[in-house]
Amino acid sequence: MAEGYVEYRNLRKSFGGLEILHGVDLTIPEGAFAVLVGPSGCGKSTLLRMTAGLENVTSGEINIAGRMVNNVHAKNRGIAMVFQSYALYPHMSVEDNMSFGLKMRKTPLQLITDRIKRAASILKLGPMLDRLPSQLSGGQRQRVAMGRALTREPEVFLFDEPLSNLDAKLRVEMRAEIKALHQRLKTTTIYVTHDQIEAMTMADLVVVMHDGRIEQVGEPLAIYDRPANLFVAEFLGSPA
Ligand code: ADP
Ligand code: MG
């Protein structure tokens, strides 16, 4: 059997003595589009931030591509994360926002130019490269945040509720764009949302989370048809 690409083994997290992740065991295969879904406060962002190296591990293991990364610095994990708030630098142009991380990593200039050109073409950012974030719509800003993640050519993409700030119509469009991006690049992706419909329409693999635990993992239809317990059934609105 193929090794998981991102693996969590009995992963726990406490803040100030209060445990909020209670032993997560989960395997995400290479190339999958996994959606982590659950109510607000269940620990989704914490799990993602630990994966990215933005929070330390209390106990247990995180493995990426067969390597235990608990003590690997965020910038050496081969990961790029897209946040709900876009997290763009307001005083920098779109192009500078996209290249900043690569410059910090001392990436050769020609390579940076090539990658920005490629990301801009994929995400239709070409005409916007000289603009400031304040001159863009919400959807365009989120596309820049995705472009910035793309230029890092990560082994794993992490998305934390990237569409929550967009209106309903744009959200539907951006879901399709993110899926198309995945179809094209096949980069292993963990996408967090509290929205059941988003999870069911986007995921190859749905991971249902509740109160710091994983309730069920499976393909969308399989989970919908055979929810493991009452929480999953009610959360997804499965037929009783
Ligand atoms: P979700 O993303 O699913 O809404 P979070 O991972 O943000 O959930 O939070 C899970 C729980 O951990 C919540 O009860 C939250 O208050 C708590 N929490 C998250 N970050 C911190 C922190 N830095 N310090 C203390 N508690 C935190
Ligand atoms: Mg969150």
DSSP string, 70-96: TTS-GGGS-EEEE-TT----TTS-HHH
For ligand 1, whether the C-beta of 43 sits within 6 Å is yes
Interface confidence, given as ipTM, is 0.98
Ligand 1 atom with the shortest distance to the CA of 194:
3
Q: What's the pLDDT score for residue 87?
A: 87
Distance 41 CA to ligand 2 centre (A): 7
For ligand 1, whether the C-beta of 42 sits within 6 Å is yes
Alpha helices per DSSP H over the chain:
44-52, 94-104, 109-122, 138-151, 168-185, 196-202, 220-225, 230-236
Q: What's the pLDDT score for residue 166?
A: 87
Distance 8 CA to ligand 1 centre (A): 18
Q: How far apart are CA 209 and CA 48, in angstroms?
A: 13
Say if CB 223 and CB 34 are below 8 A apart.
no
Most informative mutation of 18, 20, 44, 235 for ligand 1 (most atoms within 8 A of CB)? 20
Q: What's the pLDDT score for residue 86?
A: 83
Dihedral angle of Cα 133, 120, 86, 80, to the nearest 10 degrees:
-150
Q: What's the pLDDT score for residue 3?
A: 59
Instruction: Find the ligand nearest to 54 CA.
Output: 1
Interior angle at CA 187, CA 186 and CA 189, nearest 5: 115
Distance 112 CA to ligand 1 centre (A): 35
Instruction: Find the ligand nearest to 16 CA.
Output: 1
Phi, psi of 100 (to 5 degrees): -55, -50
Q: Which positions ≥6 away from 142 have C-beta within 8 Å?
A: 82, 86, 162, 163, 165, 166, 174
For ligand 1, whether the C-beta of 39 sits within 6 Å is no
User: Is residue 149 helix, strand or coil?
Assistant: helix
Q: How far apart are CA 147 and CA 42, in angstroms?
A: 29
Q: How many CB atoms lie under 10 A from the CB of residue 222?
A: 12
Ligand 1 atom with the shortest distance to the CA of 42:
3
Q: How many CB atoms lie under 10 A from the CB of residue 15?
A: 11
Q: List the chain pLDDT tens, one digit each, 240 residues.
A: 345 699 999 999 999 999 999 999 999 999 999 999 999 999 999 999 999 999 999 999 999 999 999 999 998 999 999 998 888 999 999 999 999 989 988 899 999 999 999 999 988 899 999 999 999 998 899 999 999 999 999 999 999 999 988 889 889 999 999 999 999 999 999 999 999 999 999 999 999 999 999 999 999 999 999 999 999 999 998 776
Ligand 1: residue whose CA is nearest its atom 7: 45
Say if CB 159 and CB 190 are below 8 A apart.
yes
Q: What's the pLDDT score for residue 77?
A: 94
Q: Which positions ≥6 away from 123 have C-beta within 8 Å?
A: 143, 144, 146, 147, 150, 177, 181
Ligand 1: residue whose CA is nearest its atom 27: 15
Distance 230 CA to ligand 2 centre (A): 23
- Indicate the residue type of 44: K
